[in-house]
Amino acid sequence: MWNPPRPQVRLRALRLAPLAAAALLAACAPLQTRQSLQAVNVITLPHTGTPLHLMRDPAQQQDTQAQIDALLSKPLSADDAVRIALLGSPALQGLIAQAQADSADSTQNARLANPVFGFERLLIGGGGVEITRSLSFGLLDLLTLPTRSRLNDTQQTQLRLSLARAVLRTAAQARLSWVRAVAAQQTAAYDRDVVEAAKATAILADRMQQSGNFTKLDAAQQGLFAADSQLRLSRAELAATQSREALVQVLGLSAEQAARLALPTQLPEVPKQPSAAAPMALQTALDQRLDVQLARADYIATAQAAGLARHTSLIEHVELGGLRKTYSDAPPQNGFDLSLPLPLFDLGDARRSAAADRVLAARNRAIATARRAASQLREADALRGSAWQQQRLSREQIVPLAQTVLDESQLRYNGMLIGTFQLVAAAQVQVQAVREAIAAQRNYWLADAAWQAAQLGVDAGPGALPDSASANAAPAVTSH
């Protein structure tokens, strides 16, 4: 038996099918902020040992501050400096929050716009009323949703790599700043000892001059050495303060926390044997560098965006909707409407050309990044090896020889075989040798941190590489 209502039910089902499909497809773009942070931790945790968290409430902040206070209760190690920077640095917290906001924006762009409901009521002559109801959505948005979903996935990968790189950059900056701060403090402490000894010698020289046992020239030479040592101490103390404040800024410490910051008295010992990277290790590091991965992801995202532009450059927007009109007691009228721009003045060729050129630019950026990364790895490896050789030469030969020269000069001075000038010159050479040894030790640890950063594709910023010049200028007094 024929049942008239069934075709009407089928027709309604067909009308609702696009809306149901749109709703299902839109659900394929969920928020990924939490998953993104977890993915970043997978990348960074093996290198930092500290998981990332975004502090959203006072309880989390108090717990983090308690962890930082515990780390500040003892002399700060390099690893603890990295932990503090990753735990509570406001700058890093800002980067994490911004990355999550960007992740949400990317997800939003991959979703369908909400359907638009329209309602129109017209008064017709004679007391009639015409009512029009419409429900429309972007047909082109629906057709391009799979492409936009893939583009969103690539952009999420970009955001994760970018945040991971920023986190590892913060860790590298914390380690480098710690090395510089400890070395500057160590140099200042040594210069204080030199100043104390030089002052005592200068006072003794003045007394001996007054008693007639020292010439005015000899006393002046001792006084000059003391004044020069005091000048160097003033510079060293300023450098120590600047390095300490640079560390405080990287760690994101408050004024109260900065006052409790204590550093070790000296840098760690340098390894007994150098560790040169094998060619295979360099290639592995190149493949794992985050800047190389980020450049590849940028190229993929640009290519996907170009594909989307090719499909939407001619007609950017298409609206499809259903209509239902009612007029007083007349039967309702059902239908649909379709609206789209007519490509009369803009054929989309400019957008397609720009998209193609952006793909070419991204491809060349990826190639340039890979080549630059390979060069940086070789440079960082060579720098670390050279720094190890220099510190060994300084520690095992230059400092002992300078001390021997000073000891022998002291014996000759006591035997009245040389004058005060030669003794002061020998003392200055010995002091400078110790300063250079501290600088060489510092440069090795800077080079080691720069090598670790280079393996990860992290630019640690200005001052990451060790100084090639000496830590201090030449002495004011030299032997003839």
- Give the DSSP letter of residue 319: E
Q: Is the pLDDT of residue 3 over 50?
A: no
Residue 274, classed as helix, strand or coil, is coil
> What digits encode the pLDDT tens for the residues 159-204?
999 999 999 999 999 999 999 999 999 999 999 998 888 888 777 7
pLDDT value at residue 16: 43
Six token digits for residue 157: 């990968």
Would the pLDDT of 14 be above 50?
no
pLDDT at 19 over 80: no
Predicted local confidence at residue 90, as pLDDT? 92
Cross-sheet strand order for the sheet of 116-124: 116-124, 128-138, 319-327, 333-339
The angle formed by the CA atoms of residues 417, 204 and 230, to the nearest 5 degrees, is 100
Task: Answer yes or no: is 424 within a domain.
Answer: yes
- Whether 469 is covered by a domain: the verdict is no
DSSP assignment string, 369-392: HHHHHHHHHHHHHHHHHHHHHHHH
Name the percent of the chain lying above pLDDT 90: 44
23: in domain:
no
Which pLDDT does position 176 carry in this prediction?
A: 96
What does pLDDT average to over the chain? Answer: 84
Q: What is the CATH number of the domain that holds 388?
A: 1.20.1600.10
Instruction: Quickly state the pLDDT bin for 281 (edges 50, 70, 90).
Output: confident
Question: What ranges in 33-114 are assigned the alpha helix state H?
Answer: 33-48, 58-72, 78-88, 90-109
Q: Which alpha helices (DSSP H) does 313-348 contain, by range?
A: none
Decide if 452 is inside a domain: yes
pTM (predicted TM-score): 0.83
191 occurs within a structural domain: yes
How many domains does the chain fold into? 1
Q: Which residue has the higher pLDDT, 258 or 31?
A: 258
The pLDDT-based confidence of 205 (bands split at 50, 70, 90) is confident
Residue 81 lies in a domain: yes
Burial class (CB in 10 A: 0-12, 13-18, 19+), 27: exposed
| pLDDT-based confidence at residue 37 (cuts at 50, 70, 90) | confident
Q: Please report whether residue 47 resides in a domain.
A: yes
Segment 314-355, tens digit of pLDDT: 777 788 888 888 887 778 888 888 888 888 887 888 889 999
* Average pLDDT, integer, range 290-316: 89
Position 462 scores a pLDDT of: 62
Residue with tokens 């200028």: 473
413 in any annotated domain: yes
Pick the most confident of 22-26, 51-55, 238-242, 472-476. Answer: 238-242
Residue 365: its H or E element: helix 349-393
Cβ contacts of 474 within 8 Å, gap of 6 or more = 432
pLDDT at 375 over 70: yes
Residue 242: the pLDDT is 96
Report whether pLDDT(399) > 60: yes
| Per-residue pLDDT reduced to its tens digit, 401-426 | 999 998 888 888 788 788 777 888 88
Alpha helices in 394-468 (DSSP H): 399-414, 420-456
pLDDT, average across residues 44-70 = 91
Structural domain of 284: 28-456
285 — pLDDT class (breaks 50, 70, 90): confident
pLDDT one-digit tens code per residue, 450-469: 999 999 999 876 656 665 44
- Find all residues with CB under 8 Å of 455, minimum gap 6, and list them: 285, 288, 289, 377, 380
* Minimum mean pLDDT range among 21-25, 165-169, 247-251, 294-298: 21-25
